[in-house]
C-alpha cells in the first residue's frame, strides 16, 4: 500500500517537471488553443538569444507576443524574417516576437551556426529563438510553416495566421490590444 501511494505521488510530481528538456505547462492546459483562449505561462529551457536560461511567457507580461513558427529549411519562413524583425524593432517596447524553430531535428549547435551566419544582415534574429519545442507544438498544431500566433497584451490569442497577415496595421492593432479579425489559418 505504501509503495502504491509513493508511486502515485511520484507520478503526479513528475507532471510538473521537465519532459524532453522542457518544463511542462500547468495541468489545466492539455489541448490546442484557439482565438480567444488565455495562453498559459509556458516555460522553455531550449532557448537562444535570451539573457536567461529559462524563458517564461510571463517575462513579457503586458506586451503583445507574436509566435513565429519557422525552420532553417523553410524558404518562405526565411523570406519573412526581415519584416518580422522590422516589426520587433518598431514596436520593441510593446511587442515581443518569439521565433520557434518547428523542426525537432535542428539542435542547439545547428541553430547557433545558422543564426551566427545572419548577424549583421536584415535576416539577423534579434529575438529569442526556442528550439526542439513540444509545448507550443501541442498548443498551436500546424501542418505547414510559416505559422504565426498573435497574442495580445491581455495574454489571449488574438489570431492564428499565415504570412499574409504580416502587415504593419495588424501589428499596430495587436500592440494596442485591439481585436484582430483575421482569417484563422487552417493548416
- Residue 72 CB neighbour total at 10 angstroms: 16
Contact 46, 131 (CB under 8 A): yes
Grid cell for residue 29: 492546459
Q: Which domains does the chain have, with CATH numbers?
A: 26-176 (3.40.30.10)
Hey, what's the cell of 33? Answer: 488553443
Residue range 86-143, pLDDT digits in tens: 999 999 999 999 999 988 889 999 999 999 999 999 899 999 999 998 899 899 998 8
- Cα first-last separation, the chain: 48
What digits encode the pLDDT tens for the residues 28-63? 456 899 999 999 999 999 999 999 999 999 999 999
Amino acid at each position: 500500500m505504501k509503495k502504491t501511494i509513493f508511486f502515485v505521488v511520484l507520478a503526479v510530481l513528475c507532471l510538473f517537471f521537465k519532459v524532453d528538456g522542457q518544463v511542462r505547462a500547468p495541468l489545466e492546459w492539455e489541448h490546442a488553443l484557439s482565438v480567444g483562449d488565455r495562453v498559459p505561462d509556458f516555460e522553455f529551457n531550449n532557448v537562444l538569444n535570451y539573457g536567461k536560461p529559462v524563458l517564461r511567457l510571463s517575462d513579457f507580461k503586458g506586451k503583445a507576443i507574436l509566435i513565429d513558427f519557422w525552420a532553417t529549411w523553410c524558404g518562405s519562413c526565411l523570406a519573412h524574417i526581415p519584416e518580422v524583425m522590422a516589426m520587433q524593432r518598431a514596436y520593441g517596447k510593446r511587442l515581443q516576437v518569439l521565433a520557434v524553430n518547428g523542426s525537432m531535428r535542428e539542435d542547439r549547435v545547428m541553430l547557433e551556426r545558422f543564426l551566427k551566419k545572419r548577424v549583421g544582415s536584415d535576416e539577423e534574429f534579434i529575438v529569442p529563438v526556442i528550439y526542439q519545442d513540444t509545448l507550443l507544438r501541442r498548443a498551436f498544431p500546424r501542418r505547414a510553416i510559416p505559422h504565426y500566433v498573435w497574442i495580445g497584451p491581455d495574454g489571449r490569442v488574438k489570431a492564428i495566421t499565415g504570412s499574409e497577415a504580416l502587415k504593419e496595421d495588424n501589428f499596430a492593432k495587436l500592440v494596442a490590444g485591439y481585436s484582430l479579425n483575421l482569417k484563422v489559418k487552417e493548416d
